[in-house]
Amino acid sequence: MFKKILIANRGEIAVRLIRACSELDITSVAIYSDADRHALHVKKADESYNVGADPLAGYLNGHNIVNIAVTSGCDAIHPGYGFLSENPELAEICARRDIKFIGPNADIIRQMGDKIQARTAMIAASIPVIPGSEGNIESLDEAKKLASSIGYPIMLKATNGGGGRGIRRCNNEKELIPNYDRVISEATKAFGKPEVFIEKCIVSPKHIEVQILADSFGNVVHLFERDCSIQRRNQKLIEIAPSPQLTNAQRNYVGELAVKAAKAVNYENAGTVEFLLDAENNFYFMEMNTRLQVEHTITESITGIDIVQEQIRIAFGLSLQYKQKEIQFRGFAIEYRINAEDPKYDFMPSFGKITRYYAPGGPGVRIDASIYTGYVIPPYYDSMCAKLTVWALNWESAMQRGKRALNDIVVFGVKTTIPYYLEIMNNREFKKANFNTSFVDDHPELINYQSQFPPELMAAAISAAIAAHEGI
């Protein structure tokens, strides 16, 4: 097994990876910016190295990260999610320096990161895809003609986009005209390429994703699905495994589709195949994430499989420990992304010192966090500071356990999304497992919005949002 792994990330996911290394008796190496000098992942790792004063640049410098791995004696790098986790250049640098990248190879990352190439591969494998452009859109006139032939509403998407960014819905040509330039600008700034394409907008779908594992011997299995329909502005808030909205026939079908998709591109390591389910119960391939997902915790809860440890085993060259028929799920799990945001002020980022923090506990409760009492949340990164995962034998019990655990958490000093999640747990439609990606927009009554932002908070929040958007 690997002797030493560098964690090329920060926050709660870095802590998660460090724990997996500890259980495998692998030495963990953390990196940190000056802003993260007192971060929890630095305290937890066996070794840690500073990557500079800039809060973002150090986490995005692949050459420097690999240099640290080499000089500190690491034999592998785990990228986590965000930052360079889906950056093919990092995988290539690792290969040149004889450092194992814990994830798929650069060619697969590049192919599946390009939405057009991914669509083409899925079409060739007879995986249903959303109707849309066959390639990149070269001009506004071309976009107008294609949108008219497909029929509005349509989605303008950055070809190399991800994480809910570089996406704009256009309900008519009047909206398409300004959004075309906006998406190109977003794609250029966030992903380095001004390439966009068009897909038919599936109105109010269910967002279903399937976790897969694939080794270097051609074995691929799925670990069932997650329902990620509770989201705001294409950013997931609450995730559930398995989906309480699917039948067993649908569950088996979409799982088989995901395995087929992974085999079609000779995928290796952990990955997630994302689908949209429309009102007529048609599944459409949306994208494939070539990394560990934020919400992997709920899949681990229902299957008992440690996905991070499996990633490490696969990267080391070992075969899968499980055959598909041996993988079962039990009960339901819900993950709540605890974001340092104020729902009453349109989810404005809230950062500062955690004056008091108590983690929830009890049966079926898991917390993945990067905060502690006295920790100062910096304004430079994504606002998620913890993930609460609950498990129970049935849907109703899972919701009740979720409410109890949300009430157990104590986070003073900053605003969080916890009160909003408690409102969702009491919503009649959510209780009945009847929801889709429009749930948040369709239920504005769950938030008592304030009419005005405090000016001092607005200025600080804007700078924090810009930094997080550009960096992660």
* Catalytic residue list: 291
Distance of alpha carbon 189 from alpha carbon 174, whole angstroms: 24
> For 79, what's the count of Cα atoms within 13 Å in the CB-facing half-sphere?
34
* Cα–Cα distance measured from residue 60 to residue 38, given in angstroms and rounded to the nearest whole number: 20
Tokens of 23: 């259980």
* Residue whose structure tokens are 């785990």: 78
Least Cα distance to 458 among 345, 376, 354 occurs for 345
Which one-letter amino acid corresponds to residue 200? K
Helix or strand run (H / E) with residue 420: helix 418-425
Detail the DSSP E strand segments found in 201-340: 206-214, 220-232, 235-241, 269-277, 283-289, 332-339
DSSP 273: E
What gap in Å lies between CA 418 and CA 405, rounded to an integer?
10
Separation between Cα atoms, residue 16 and residue 276, nearest integer Å? 29
DSSP per-residue codes, 59-89: HH-HHHHHHHHHHTT-SEEE--SSTTTT-HH
Tell me how far apart the alpha carbons of residues 367 and 365 are, in angstroms, rounded to a whole number. 7
